[in-house]
A and B are shown apart, each in its own frame.
Chain A
Amino acid sequence: MTSTIQTALFIAIVGILGIFIFMIIFYLLIKGLDKWFPYKEEKPEQDFVLDEIED
């Protein structure tokens, strides 16, 4: 195996590992977003109704 191939294999292995690490961190980040900001049913805005009552 030539040194060029060895270097290429090294870059490929580090590259694919790097992408997986990046994606795993991204995965944890999204999980965190879901935990900290879960979806809540949005209530209809009341301002318009209140304005009408005030009038």
Chain B
Amino acid sequence: MNTLLSLADNLQTFWGYTGFHNVESGHIIMILIGLVFIYLAITKEYEPLLLIPIGFGMLIGNIPFNEAAGLQIGIYEEGSVFNILYQGVVQGWYPPLIFLGIGAMTDFSALIANPKLILIGAACQFGIFGAYIIAIQWGFAPNEAGAIGIIGGADGPTSIFTTSKLAPHLLGAVAISAYSYMALVPVIQPPFMRLLTTKKEREMKMKTPRVVSQTEKVLFPIMGLLLTAFLVPSGLPLLGMLFFGNLLKESGVTRRLAETARGPLVDTITILLGLTVGASTQATTFLRIESLKVFLIGALSFVIATITGILFVKAFNLILPKEKKINPLIGNAGVSAVPDAARISQSIGLEYNPSNYLLMHAMGPNVAGVIGSAVAAGILLGFLY
């Protein structure tokens, strides 16, 4: 009889540790959202390199367990494997390493060949500051508003880096929001691009960019680093690594290092970053009204960035000579979702003029957007950290 009672006790204890006993509706909701991410990544191919790790991370982070038992398995439990891996996000180590890889895979030729396009990358940062103001209006504290605003830069690593410094408790919501909208750039931007441009503007062809010398390509990251370091030192972790990666690529004598930075290194960090950001959306800490607000403001910030980029090009065209005018369809590309935003410019341009290839031109503002959002992050950190 005693043996049976002991067995029953053991079974009851075991049951208390299972996911079935600890599950709450929030876990189910987050697991379903994770499954949607995985579905979108596989069937629609929306940013699969990010959405698969994030989606699977959401499944891992929302497996219910007895949090009071001290099993050291949850991402927020000090000493657990996931908690150790998550330190790269919390302490802001992963984003600069991602930027190193981005630098090693980015060709800045389009920007160097037509440097006025860099201003579009500045105009789109209205998305960041617009969202920052909206977040303040909606009751967020200034540091939280800064973290939320950075979503408008359409740059996952920059968003994570800034949020880890300004409002670590919003990391999950901001990161998921930034990556979700980056994946949805092909859905969010085109309606505004069509709405704000005329048929004639969409058909406009741009002058073929000039050839860029190797010396310019090598000097660009060095000059860029020095400019950043002196003007916006707080943007140094991101932009310093971006330009370092680019110098590895362009110097021509560090091919192995460049290949490692843009290949195995960036892939490893992407896996760790995506998985831990996904796992950080544990229902008990993530499912709050604040997260919903972050998502709404994030969507608005993308819209503001797209609109201001296009309107800026239209205004800029008023003062440019006829042969140097810019097709406003590349205005959307000033956000730093590389290269998706540039691809959208190309595909919409081709719809209206099958011989109009805008990709090369759109890559200019697109890489300028990467620099612009990192500078914006540096400015916000300078004011709010």
Contacts and interface: CB of A to CB of B under 8 A. Distances in A.
Interface string A1-41: 00011011101101110111111111101110110011110
A33 B219 contact: yes
A5 B137 contact: yes
B376 A19 contact: yes
B227 interface: yes
B220 A24 contact: no
Given A22-B231, A33-B112, A37-B216, A27 B118 contact: yes
Nearest to A25: B227
Contacts of A15: 125, 128-129, 376, 379-380, 383
B372 A19 contact: yes
B228 to A, nearest CB: 8
B363 interface: no
A13 to B, nearest CB: 8
Interface stretch (B18-26, B154-162, B206-214, B277-285): B206-214
The 6 lowest CB-CB distance pairs between A and B, nearest first, are A30-B115, A12-B129, A37-B215, A39-B213, A23-B122, A8-B136
23 contacts: A4-B136, A5-B133, A5-B137, A8-B133, A11-B132, A11-B142, A12-B129, A12-B130, A12-B133, A14-B379, A16-B126, A20-B119, A22-B232, A26-B115, A29-B224, A29-B227, A31-B115, A33-B112, A33-B220, A34-B210, A37-B219, A39-B212, A39-B213
Contacts of A5: 133, 136-137
A11 B135 CA distance: 13
B125 A26 contact: no
Interface size range on B against A = 35 or more
Contacts of A19: 122, 125, 372, 375-376, 379
A19 B372 CA distance: 7
Given A19-B372, A25-B227, A30-B111, 4 more contacts: A12-B130, A23-B119, A33-B216, A37-B219
A31 to B, nearest CB: 6
B116 interface: yes
B142 to A, nearest CB: 7
Interface in B315-355: none
Contact of A37 (B145, B213, B376, B379): B213
Nearest to A2: B136
A33 to B, nearest CB: 5
Nearest to B145: A8
Nearest to B111: A30
Q: SS class of chain B's interface: helix, strand, loop or mixed?
A: helix
A20 B372 CA distance: 9
| Highest count of chain A CB atoms <10 Å: which of B121, B223, B384 | B223
A9 B232 CA distance: 20
B368 interface: yes
Contacts of B142: 4, 7-8, 11
Contacts of A37: 213, 215-216, 219
A5 B136 CA distance: 7
B248 interface: no
Interface string B92-123: 00000000000000000001100110110110
B232 A16 contact: no
Given A22-B375, A23-B368, A25-B231, A38 B213 contact: yes
Contacts of A8: 132-133, 136, 142, 145
Nearest to A29: B223
Contacts of A38: 213
A40 B213 contact: yes
Contact of A20 (B122, B224, B383): B122
Interface in B25-83: none
